[in-house]
């Protein structure tokens, strides 16, 4: 015998909740026939990510964004970060007739608050939230017209990319939030420098604060910690005539991770712990004082474990002894003995994060020996190193001018610094042009 739901208030309430959830969380796609707004969501096919309108602690500003379904506070992308809505009820997300994804404010005569397209040339027929957290707009043939991975905010996810399209000039970089409860663009940017041997830099209002060091075939030169979590993630670095990019991917069976540029300028790698339902930070930079960009100045070397962190490369002395006495080493060091252009040699500064490479040239096809010969014959070359540490070291980076932001570190590389023969204790015209110097021998000055 059938029974009326009216006699079972608990069952009726439960079904009401299910209906509310079903109406709030839609499928993973949006077409021109559908819109979402208010508390409605798109959910990725596997349920890992959701897209919709959200508010932070103050609950007065609303944003269109993507977040982890298991951790709604972990927002990974924000569309209208610098132009929030005043209420969620007025927000409408839809595909326009021209194929752009737009956020409209119904309270302001459907004013466009944000659009995926800055032109009228988009032809997207569907918007799809994927299981990797990427929001993709595709045309009727499936070709990608726009994707959120090309426009990061403060987070890189597994499979997303940082770098630059060298054909179009498009830059894929992160910018920090203004504050923990304010997703508007903050002071810091995490961007690929494609000059010389490419590397990632953190900038604050036009001032460089940190750099990773160049990619050396295995990792970034200044990030030895990357090799400690290769069991969790794999790295891919691409450097072609068309593109420079860095991608990480969570390995199968590994916990979900994300990389975040914080509002204070730290780059943090976080892992989700499903047992505690919390994120754990297991790697971050800057690590210490020596990771601060240029702390020891040109031709200086930073040693985080030394009593005095800054010293000069052998053959160099402080430019301003008075400033060094005040523990301001940013002016760097100057060469003690001028180079002779032809009658010079090299010494090996071992175990270092390679200097900044924007004033360098790179030839991945040259041997390390050939690299040394080229540097010796070029009067403007000041140092050289292998561009790829695999197989004992191959490829060639030559520096021209100052060596900036060098530090001693675990699992560092060999840097061959050009010095006058007299600084090396060698005889001009002799055969031994390279004199190895132990890892610790940079000159620390306690003036």
- Which has more confidence, 307 or 154? 154
For residue 388, pLDDT over 90 is answered with yes
The DSSP symbol for 431 reads: S
With bands split at pLDDT 50, 70 and 90, how would you rate the model's confidence at 438? very low
- In terms of DSSP bridges, do strands 135-138 and 144-147 run parallel, antiparallel, or are they unpaired? antiparallel
Reported as a single tens digit per residue, the pLDDT across 335-368 is 999 999 988 999 999 999 999 999 999 999 999 9
Predicted local confidence at residue 118, as pLDDT: 66
Closest CA to 233 of 212, 245, 219: 219
User: 152-287: which CATH topology?
Assistant: Agglutinin, subunit A (2.90.10)
Task: Tokens for 316, please give them.
Answer: 């160099």
For residue 23, pLDDT over 70 is answered with no
In Å, what is the CA distance from 404 to each residue of 47, 115, 337, 399? Answer: 47, 41, 19, 10
With a CB cutoff of 8 Å and minimum separation 6, the contacts of 383 are: 346, 355, 375, 398, 399, 403, 415, 416, 417, 418
Reported as a single tens digit per residue, the pLDDT across 304-341 is 997 889 999 999 999 999 999 999 999 999 999 999 99
Q: Let me know: does 112 contact 104? Beta carbons within 8 Å.
A: yes
For residue 379, pLDDT over 80 is answered with yes
Reported as a single tens digit per residue, the pLDDT across 184-198 is 999 999 999 999 999
User: 17-147: which CATH topology?
Assistant: Agglutinin, subunit A (2.90.10)
Sequence ranges of the domains in the chain: 17-147, 152-287, 294-444
Flag the least confident range among 180-189, 226-235, 277-286.
226-235
- Sheet bearing 243-250, strands edge to edge: 171-172, 161-165, 243-250, 233-239
Closest CA to 25 of 153, 129, 97, 149: 129
The whole-angstrom separation of Cα 116 and Cα 145 is 10
Reported as a single tens digit per residue, the pLDDT across 2-14 is 333 333 333 233 3
Identical topology for domains 17-147 and 152-287: yes
Reported as a single tens digit per residue, the pLDDT across 87-113 is 888 899 999 988 899 999 999 999 999
The whole-angstrom separation of Cα 39 and Cα 400 is 57
Task: Tokens for 361, please give them.
Answer: 């040239």
Q: What is the mean pLDDT of residues 279-286?
A: 94
Paired with 236 in beta bridges are 247
pTM over 0.85: yes
Q: What is the mean pLDDT of residues 209-232?
A: 92
Q: What is the mean pLDDT of residues 190-214?
A: 97
Predicted local confidence at residue 343, as pLDDT: 86
The whole-angstrom separation of Cα 346 and Cα 192 is 30
Cis peptide bond prior to 286, omega within 30° of 0: yes
């Amino acid at each position: 015998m059938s029974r009326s739901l009216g006699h079972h208030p608990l069952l009726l309430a439960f079904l009401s909740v299910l209906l509310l959830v079903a109406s709030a969380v839609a499928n993973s796609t949006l077409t021109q026939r559908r819109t979402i707004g208010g508390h409605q969501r798109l959910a990725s096919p596997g349920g890992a990510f959701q897209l919709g309108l959200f508010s932070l602690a103050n609950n007065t500003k609303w944003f269109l964004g993507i977040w982890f379904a298991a951790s709604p506070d972990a927002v990974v992308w924000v569309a209208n970060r610098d132009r929030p809505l005043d209420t969620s009820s007025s927000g409408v997300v839809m595909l326009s007739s021209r194929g752009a994804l737009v956020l409209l404010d119904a309270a302001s005569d459907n004013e466009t608050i944000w659009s995926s397209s800055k032109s009228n040339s988009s032809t997207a027929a569907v918007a799809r939230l994927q299981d990797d957290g990427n929001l993709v707009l595709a045309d009727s043939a499936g070709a990608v017209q726009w994707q959120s991975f090309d426009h990061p905010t403060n987070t890189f996810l597994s499979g997303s990319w940082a770098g630059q399209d060298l054909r179009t000039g498009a830059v894929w970089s992160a910018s920090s939030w203004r504050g923990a409860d304010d997703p508007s663009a903050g002071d810091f940017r995490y961007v690929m420098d494609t000059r010389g041997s490419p590397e990632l830099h953190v900038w604050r209002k036009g001032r460089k604060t940190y750099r990773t060091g160049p990619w050396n075939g295995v990792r970034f030169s200044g990030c030895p910690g990357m090799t400690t979590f290769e069991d969790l993630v794999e790295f891919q670095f691409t450097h072609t005539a068309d593109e420079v990019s860095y991608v990480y991917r969570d390995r199968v069976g590994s916990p979900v991770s994300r990389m975040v540029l914080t509002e204070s300028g730290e780059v943090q790698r976080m892992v989700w712990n499903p047992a505690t339902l919390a994120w754990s930070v297991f790697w971050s930079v800057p690590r210490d004082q020596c990771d601060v960009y240029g702390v020891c100045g040109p031709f200086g070397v930073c040693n985080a474990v030394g009593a005095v962190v800054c010293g000069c490369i052998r053959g160099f002395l402080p430019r301003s002894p008075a400033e060094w006495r005040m523990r301001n080493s940013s002016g760097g060091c100057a060469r003690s003995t001028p180079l002779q252009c032809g009658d010079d040699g090299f010494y090996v500064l071992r175990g270092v994060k390679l200097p900044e490479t924007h004033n360098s040239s790179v030839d991945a096809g040259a041997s390390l020996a050939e690299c040394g010969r080229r540097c010796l014959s070029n009067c403007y070359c000041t140092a050289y190193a292998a561009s790829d540490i695999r197989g004992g070291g191959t490829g060639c980076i030559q520096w021209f001018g100052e060596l900036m932001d060098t530090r001693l570190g675990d699992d560092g590389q060999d840097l061959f610094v050009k010095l006058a023969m007299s600084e090396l204790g060698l005889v001009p015209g002799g055969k031994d042009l390279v004199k190895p110097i132990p890892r610790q021998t940079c000159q620390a000055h306690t003036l």
